[in-house]
Amino acid sequence: MIGLISATAAGAAARDRLAVAWPDRTRVYDGPVGEAVRAAFAECDQLVCFLATGAVVRLLAPLLGDKAADPGVVCVDEGGRFAVSLLGGHGGGANGLAREVGESLGAEPVVTTATDAVGLPGLDTLGLPYEGAVAAVSRALLDGAPVALEAEVAWPLPPLPFSARGEYTVRLTDRAGAPGEREVLLRPPTLVVGVGASRGAPVEEVVGLVEEALRAAGLSARSVAELATVDAKSGEPGLVAAAERFGVPLVTYSADELAAVEVPNPSGAPLAAVGTPSVAEAAALLRGGELLVPKRKSERADGRPAMATCAVVRRPGRGRLAVVGLGPGARDLLTPRAAAELRRASVLVGLDQYVDQIRDLLRPGTRVLESGLGAEEERARTAVAEARAGHAVALIGSGDAGVYAMASPALAEASDDIDVVGVPGVTAALAAGAILGAPLGHDHVSISLSDLHTPWEVIERRVRAAAESDLVVTFYNPRSRGRDWQLPKALAILGGHREPGTPVGVVRNASRPDGSSRVTTLGALDPATVDMMTVVTVGNTATRNIAGRMVTPRGYRWQGAGEEAR
């Protein structure tokens, strides 16, 4: 929960704007400011104070305890111009909150944390549990001192200036052990603990068994990703509570799925009880990995039979492929999620002209693999190969990466050995539609007129179907120097089903500074004025030109029926 505190009417106005924008995330604290800050500090994960920074510092000073436990605090001036990350930039999430507040209120986020200031990801912001000398190692990275990365397990990390050797070390490991004086341990979630339990197994018995199994194998409980078991035990209180104790999900599989897993220690008891010869080992191994701890049973002090079993598997680190849509070109139409993925990636793959658009958003050290037009399959293969090597990869495309862009060839190459994340973007059709008015207000279709990958016969059949169905049509790739007859042909097909006065929108470089647009008609459009940087949107029989804008009604009775189109 985010506590919101203000002292004046101006501050309250900005506070209330944020409360309305985030109704499920915020709580307004009224009353005397000092009491409000103390209450919010004790009750909330984060605070946004609409007060002067000096006042907030004085109010917070007596409350400060441990930087790992204190809430993140953002201070917003009463004019709503700046959102200052004041306390808990990393541990309390105040840096990210300042950026969110800035986006919501139109304020400038002010982040002074050293790593953020120079574009380096903080070691305590990687989403992994960490131990050790974070401040000292971060300072070494900032100062350019050699910091070695010792990766005992593979895990995708954002770009950091690691060296082959150094006096300081970042160790990526799921092994137990204390960090050295100049060392940070990062704990990736590589361990899966399969668990089985008799009905009524106490949570203490389950937790004690898992902790002892990890301890005996020299493994860190902070690298446990999940507890896994059979569906029949999904509601077993001892297992549910154990997963909560470790702070991980309880994942369940059907008995048939588990029975299909080959295990070293099958047993007749679980087969009779739940329909599979193995629960703990099979649940841990089902998605692959190395069995580090074979099935073991709990030991009870009273000498009664064990009520819990467990097994531990290390799953291989998975690379990460984010397929990112950059939008139509304008920076303000690049989504925050896309920008975050660009900052997260250690490897960027893309068309050279798209890379140039967002190069300034990349963190220092990001490896850029760019190529020219016509190399889509090569870029897709490269991106997947880099992800399989364990990297965090961003594969970029214009508009939405899933629309005439890189998602299709990339996913055709990818298998289930990497994590894939799709990041949507604003398409050229949507950007052009917003410029033209509301041409896509009802059913519509996008058709590429490029026959480079699709035979013209197929394209023509789709155009005819759209014409006969009275769909609004947006043409991508309408015309190039070597391909100048397809657009006239497509317009002629539509002309067989629509009047010459049907509105047509022509938008070039939608949303970019050099963009242009016009609304004409199906009969008046000159295809020679169109190129590959243009999208052409042809209205349906209900589309009208109203005050120079294309409008397609949503299916309601047309208010202007009987009037001539203007």
pLDDT tens for residues 303-314?
Answer: 788 899 999 999
d(CA 112, CA 117): 6
Query: Over pLDDT 70: what percentage of the chain?
Result: 97
pLDDT greater than 90 at residue 300: no
Task: Classify residue 30 by burial, with Cβ atoms within 10 Å: 0-12, 13-18, 19+.
Answer: exposed
pLDDT greater than 50 at residue 563: no
d(CA 302, CA 33): 57
Look up residue 75 and give its two tokens: 């201070």
Handedness of CA 423, 429, 430, 431 (dihedral sign): positive
Supply the pLDDT for residue 116.
67
Cα separation of the two ends of the chain = 53
CA angle 42, 46, 52 (to 5 degrees): 95
d(CA 300, CA 291): 25
Q: Chain centroid to CA 77: how far?
A: 30
Residues 6+ apart with CB under 8 A from 540: 442, 470, 471, 472, 498, 502, 552
Integer CA distances (angstroms), 123 to 128, 235, 348, 401, in order: 9, 37, 21, 30
Look up residue 77 and give its two tokens: 């001036």
pLDDT band at 558 (very low <50, low <70, confident <90, very high): low
DSSP conformational letter for 163: B
Supply the pLDDT for residue 429.
95
Query: Over pLDDT 90: what percentage of the chain?
Result: 64
Rg (alpha carbons) of the chain, rounded to whole number: 29
DSSP conformational letter for 172: E
Supply the pLDDT for residue 297.
93
Contact between 29 and 39 (Cβ < 8 Å): yes
DSSP conformational letter for 413: H
Return the minimum-mean-pLDDT range out of 151-155, 219-223, 333-337, 525-529.
Answer: 151-155
**Side-chain-facing half-sphere of 226: CA atoms under 13 Å:** 14
Instruction: State the chain's mean pLDDT as an integer.
Output: 91
The 10s digit of each residue's pLDDT in 39-52 is 998 999 899 999 88
pLDDT band at 92 (very low <50, low <70, confident <90, very high): confident
State the average pLDDT over residues 537-558: 88
Return the minimum-mean-pLDDT range out of 170-179, 284-293, 367-376.
Answer: 367-376
pLDDT greater than 50 at residue 326: yes
Supply the pLDDT for residue 303.
73
State the average pLDDT over residues 428-449: 95
In degrees and rounded to multiples of 5, residue 85 shows phi and psi of -75, 105
Q: Identify the three-state secondary structure at position 352.
A: helix
| Residue listed under structure tokens 């070494």 | 140
* Residue-by-residue DSSP string for 425-494: ---HHHHHHHHHEETTSS-EEEEE---SSS-HHHHHHHHHHHHHTT-EEEEES--BTTB-SHHHHHHHHH
Q: Identify the three-state secondary structure at position 88.
A: coil
CA angle 498, 553, 479 (to 5 degrees): 50
pLDDT band at 250 (very low <50, low <70, confident <90, very high): very high
The 10s digit of each residue's pLDDT in 339-357 is 989 999 999 999 999 999 9
Could you tell me which residues are beta bridge partners of residue 538? 473, 504
- Going through 269-390 in order, the beta strands assigned E by DSSP cover 290-297, 308-314, 320-325, 347-351, 367-371
pLDDT greater than 80 at residue 195: yes
pLDDT greater than 50 at residue 139: yes
| Residue listed under structure tokens 């603990």 | 193
d(CA 73, CA 84): 9
pLDDT greater than 70 at residue 117: no
d(CA 365, CA 488): 48
d(CA 74, CA 93): 10
Integer CA distances (angstroms), 84 to 26, 56, 61, 182, 339, in order: 18, 11, 17, 31, 21
d(CA 397, CA 400): 7
Return the minimum-mean-pLDDT range out of 113-117, 393-397, 415-419.
Answer: 113-117
Contact between 440 and 429 (Cβ < 8 Å): yes
144-158, 362-376, 378-392: range with highest mean pLDDT: 378-392
Supply the pLDDT for residue 541.
94
> Which residue type is seen at 182?
R
Higher local confidence (pLDDT), 70 or 90 = 70
Contact between 304 and 205 (Cβ < 8 Å): no
Integer CA distances (angstroms), 129 to 126, 221, 348, in order: 8, 10, 26
Supply the pLDDT for residue 367.
94
Closest listed residue to residue 319, CA positions, set 398, 396, 417: 417
Contact between 495 and 522 (Cβ < 8 Å): yes
Q: At what angle do helices 53-60 and 33-43 cross, to 10 degrees?
A: 60
Supply the pLDDT for residue 566.
41
d(CA 168, CA 180): 9
Could you tell me which residues are beta bridge partners of residue 48? 4, 74
Q: At what angle do helices 94-105 and 9-21 cross, to 10 degrees?
A: 100
Look up residue 391 and give its two tokens: 């990297």
- Helices then strands, counting H and E runs in the chain, come out as 18, 28
Q: Identify the three-state secondary structure at position 498.
A: coil
Look up residue 209 and give its two tokens: 């068994």
Outline where 220-375 has alpha helix (H).
237-246, 255-259, 268-274, 280-285, 336-344, 352-358
